[in-house]
Structure 1
Amino acid sequence: MPVGPVYRPEPRVFDLGEDYGDAVRPADFPETIPRVRNDRAAATVGLDSLTDAEWITHFGRFAPLPGQPGPIAMRYHGHQFRTYNPDLGDGRGFLAAQLRETPGAPAANDRTVYPRADRRSDPGASGSAQQGRLLDLGTKGSGTTPWSRSGDGRLTLKGGVREVLAAAMLEAQGVPTSRALSLIETGEQLERGDEPSPTRSAVLVRLQHSHIRFGTFQRAAFFGRADQIETLVEHVRALYHPAVAQGDASGLLTAIVAASARLAARWIAAGFVHGVLNTDNLNVTGESFDYGPWRFLPSYEPGFTAAYFDSTGLYAFARQPEAVFWNLTQLAGCLKLVAEAEPLTEALNGFGPAYIGELRAAFLDRLGVKSLGEAADQRLLDTTLALLREKGEAIRWEPLFHDWFAGFSSSARALAGPRANAWQGEAFDAFRFALFEHEPERPERLEHTVFARPDPEEMLIEEVEAIWAAIDATDDWSPLHDKMARLEATRASRA
């Protein structure tokens, strides 16, 4: 098969041994209809040169890619809404391949269904620049596994579309996220209790930086297997956090705490609610993935929830940092099998300061301005949140960052735009003063056509449902393709 010259298979999950996953067979789907093919992401791992038939073979039928032994369903446990569940594991997905990323690799034969660029460079990303990050190809909806329990191992087409949208929006906003590489409709009619049935089916492939979850450690700890914890510590340290010394479990926790704090801060700055922050949905690299009942805030609302079943608001918007920290404490509890409690506690205590620092940095990034020091940066953060709180639906969340991107340089544009009447009052004056203290970061970005538009790209539930309705009613994919093209423009405008 014509893999590109940058294709570098490296199936390192097998270094862990058979205690961490099970070889599985993918489902035999009645149809394989390509719906999303992300060649721009595929180019970073040398897979953009696959023909359409080869794409289906590997991402619809799951014939192993060159140098890849075959799919593995990962074993893990987890707390679900803080209730421990030892009956988890990959129940409708598997790890299909692992390979090295080559940042900036050009697409040799770009047949991307919608324009899409490579992941924004991240100075905090693990893995050396020369070697490239180790990435996983993971699936969703690829069939039953030993961990499916009573599930059918399938994914609804609507669920696949929603994950494609969530990942693209988050990438455009600078959030560490998995990328939707492929979405293929599979021709089955699924019965679901939470949406009209029968409904169409699909299989998704995502490109992600590690499927080692907090719950992977929890399973080993549940069985009292200190040896397995030690194996996981070394595996994760060597592949994802190589700056940590060999055998230093507390140092590894420190690195995971820092990555998780960054992720939580970026969610908040994006106005994003993941919806299901269980310990099996957080991984060791601090990358967001597995988008189920997600939502973006229409306007500032700390108690906003994404999941209809989150009746207590456990994973509400403003409680997400708390949820991430609670999950980190469960990971630390597992590491107590191989490390002293005091340095683990010290590592956990670093979450709060790291989160606040990352939140300041995330808001600076979203507003397109440079740091002026901790005090001034905190003042900008506080006044931005105060303005969002006061103005609410009058400006919504995303338009503020669109109107005032690059600070003073956007004054004329913002004050002549559709929200001009909202930009007044004491809260706005405090925000403007704090914003104008900061110099713009690369103000030439304002020349992008995105900033000539009156409104930014948002991802509110009404639009998501409208995109799905067009697909469901008349098989019209143009609203999805158009949305993805606009999101790519948004990402490019801020890169």
Structure 2
Amino acid sequence: MALSNRPATDRHSLFQANVLALRFTQLPNALWHPQEAERVGLDPQLIHLNHAALPAVGLMAAADRTALTRLLAGHEASAQTDAPRSFATVYAGHQFGHFVPQLGDGRAITIAEGVGRDGPFELQLKGAGRTPFSRFGDGRAVLRSVIREYLASEHMAALGVPTTRALSIVASHEGVQRETLEPGAVMARFAPTHVRFGHFEYFHHRGETAHVKALADWVIGEFDTDLADSADPYGQFFDRVVERTAHLCAKWQAVGFAHGVLNTDNMSILGLTIDYGPYGFLDRYDPNFICNHSDHQGRYAFGRQPEIVFWNLRALAVALSSLVPVERLVQGLERFGPQFDEGWRAAYGPKFGMETAQPEDGPLLVDFLTGLRTLGADYPTSFQALTRWIEGEGELPPFDGAGEWGERWRERGLDPAQAAKVAERANPAITLRNWVAETAIRAVERDQDLVFFDRLFNALTAPFEELPEVLAPLAGPPPPELAGLAVSCSS
């Protein structure tokens, strides 16, 4: 019997008691729209489940697998007793620098909200069908893009980068038309909230300033509660968004992550990495690396991310101008540079064995990166080599002046044994390069090898541990046949 024809399951067999509660849907109806999933496909198959994440969304670890699959496929409502059971939200955004007045959750539906083990959560299904904001889209997701987002979300979390999280992959066994007909899937993801810069832009540019205020009050009340009694709550809120976003961007640079589509609708108000589309991790260290082959002008090149993030924060400042005087918003924006520099040192220092990098360490760190760029060196393996060198077991990457650089590092006066421990915890043994993601996609789509996929998932979510021998080849640069993989917004 198809799963969609099974009777509904009482929520207490899936969710822990007293977990589900209204949060975002307490806001005015203009900010969200009731939306049930379309029950995509006839016989969904649970491809992978992130067991460790279940408590974060209040799901029972021992829940009935069939009922859980139904829920995570969109074939069963969450049975959240308070209406609505599920919803989609509307937002706007600057896409490649051009304002689009209405976007929204075109293929994402929130099926539950509440407070789990780690605090507030929204549980979304991505690819479970159309919403009023799908525009010309079909509301579906293809398996390859789901695999990419699923692995990237959990890999980034393991690297210490703030991100939305991934809970499951369900194959729909339904074809989805993109450039060709591809297998479809539904991914469950969660976050404390999925509110974006674009939510504020939508209401500001429509002149609906009361909704801008309502949304700001909600975010402050949920996540910046100490600002509620402040004399300057909205100005300080903007300061925090600037700080969170600057530190996030710094971590992207350190782990070698290029987002690919840094539109304002893809920017989280909480400073989370959100919406993994044509992302890419560096192979060679190249600030001009463009991971999205649809980005013909290089607007979202790896090295431009700090500049673009700042541009997006300016767009958010405009959207908050009905709440905060312009002069105060400018003061907030001026915090970005110092906050990014601080975050950059905090993110990069440990990769060089420094618990805390000081401002005077900046030239030493930058010169190493300059050497890698000139050499055309592979980014992840160069830092693996640096770790071994700190341990006294290898050589530095052979860029011009490497010997002199090594002497400067020694003059820093770090304890080598302690520095080695710091570097080992900061330089991963495996990185989710495009060719690694493609290997995972082929394993599932072509070979149905879920054992390999699970093994790779475990390695990517424990990236600083030694790789099992069978995965060791995935630590290095791509083989020639998988080099230069092109990824587009449809990914």
The two structures have a TM-score, normalised by structure 2, of: 0.85
Are the equivalent residues in 2 in contact too, given 1:171–1:491 (CA < 8 A)?
Answer: no
Change (3 A) 1:404 1:65: farther
**Offset, 1:3:** 4.9
Q: Which position in structure 1 is the counterpart of 2:270? A: 285
**Offset, 1:481:** 1.8
Change (3 A) 1:226 1:441: farther
Are the equivalent residues in 2 in contact too, given 1:370–1:440 (CA < 8 A)?
Answer: no
Are the equivalent residues in 2 in contact too, given 1:92–1:142 (CA < 8 A)?
Answer: yes
**Offset, 1:266:** 0.6
Distance 1:450 1:224 in 2: 46
Deviations 1:408-453 (A, max 9, x none): 4x222xx1xxxx37357514532563375345796695899999xx
Distance 1:176 1:339 in 2: 27
Matched, 1:344 2:329: yes
User: Could you tell me which of 55, 61, 64 is aligned with 1:43?
Assistant: 55
Deviations 1:104-147 (A, max 9, x none): xxxxxxxxxxxxxxxxxxxxxxxxxxxxx322212210100111
User: Could you tell me which of 368, 384, 390 is aligned with 1:402?
Assistant: 384
**Offset, 1:487:** 1.6
* Mapping for residues 422-437 of structure 1, pairs under 5 Å: 422-423=397-398, 425-427=400-402, 429-430=404-405, 433-434=408-409, 437=413
Q: Which position in structure 2 is the counterpart of 1:112? A: none
Change (3 A) 1:407 1:175: farther
Change (3 A) 1:360 1:343: same
User: Could you tell me which of 18, 27, 33 is aligned with 2:29?
Assistant: 18
Aligned CA RMSD, in angstroms, stands at: 2.6
**Offset, 1:171:** 2.0
Distance 2:242 2:437 in 1: 33
Q: Which position in structure 2 is the counterpart of 1:64? A: 78
Q: Which position in structure 1 is the counterpart of 2:204? A: 221
* Mapping for residues 180-195 of structure 1, pairs under 5 Å: 180-193=166-179
Deviations 1:242-263 (A, max 9, x none): 2334462111110000000011
Which letter does structure 2 place at the counterpart of 1:346?
A: Q
* Mapping for residues 299-310 of structure 1, pairs under 5 Å: 299-310=284-295
Please give the secondary structure, in 1, of the residue aligned with 2:123.
Answer: strand
Deviations 1:56-86 (A, max 9, x none): 1321124115456411111101111011112
**Offset, 1:27:** 1.1
Are the equivalent residues in 2 in contact too, given 1:368–1:406 (CA < 8 A)?
Answer: no
Q: Which position in structure 2 is the counterpart of 1:243? A: 226
Distance 2:318 2:217 in 1: 17
Which letter does structure 2 place at the counterpart of 1:400?
A: S
Change (3 A) 1:208 1:274: same
Which letter does structure 2 place at the counterpart of 1:15?
A: Q
Which letter does structure 2 place at the counterpart of 1:258?
A: E
Change (3 A) 1:101 1:444: farther
Matched, 1:490 2:460: no
Which letter does structure 1 place at the counterpart of 2:409?
A: A
Q: Which position in structure 2 is the counterpart of 1:34? A: 46
Are the equivalent residues in 1 in contact too, given 2:291–2:301 (CA < 8 A)?
Answer: yes
Matched, 1:263 2:248: yes
Are the equivalent residues in 2 in contact too, given 1:173–1:366 (CA < 8 A)?
Answer: no
Please give the secondary structure, in 1, of the residue aligned with 2:194.
Answer: coil
Unaligned runs of 5+ residues in structure 1 are: 104-132
Change (3 A) 1:4 1:144: closer
Q: Which position in structure 2 is the counterpart of 1:353? A: 338
* Mapping for residues 372-391 of structure 1, pairs under 5 Å: 373-376=358-361, 378-391=362-375
* Mapping for residues 441-452 of structure 1, pairs under 5 Å: none
User: Could you tell me which of 19, 34, 43 is aligned with 1:8?
Assistant: 19
Please give the secondary structure, in 1, of the residue aligned with 2:132.
Answer: coil
Deviations 1:213-261 (A, max 9, x none): 1000011111111111111111111112223344621111100000000
Are the equivalent residues in 2 in contact too, given 1:62–1:96 (CA < 8 A)?
Answer: no
Q: In terms of mean alpha carbon deviation, does 242-251 or 230-239 score higher?
A: 242-251
Aligned length: 448
User: Could you tell me which of 370, 392, 398 is aligned with 1:411?
Assistant: 392
The two structures have a TM-score, normalised by structure 1, of: 0.84
Which letter does structure 2 place at the counterpart of 1:192?
A: R
Write out the 4+ residue segments of structure 1 that deviate beyond 6 Å after TM superposition.
Answer: 440-444, 446-451
Matched, 1:92 2:107: yes
Change (3 A) 1:401 1:172: farther
Unaligned runs of 5+ residues in structure 2 are: 1-11, 467-491
Are the equivalent residues in 2 in contact too, given 1:369–1:407 (CA < 8 A)?
Answer: no
**Offset, 1:175:** 1.0
**Offset, 1:352:** 0.8
**Offset, 1:54:** 2.4
Distance 1:477 1:361 in 2: 37
Distance 1:447 1:379 in 2: 19
Change (3 A) 1:315 1:76: same
Distance 2:256 2:354 in 1: 19
Change (3 A) 1:83 1:264: same
Q: Which position in structure 2 is the counterpart of 1:294? A: 279
Deviations 1:279-304 (A, max 9, x none): 11001100001101111110111111
Distance 2:464 2:98 in 1: 38
Are the equivalent residues in 2 in contact too, given 1:175–1:266 (CA < 8 A)?
Answer: yes
Identical positions, percent? 29
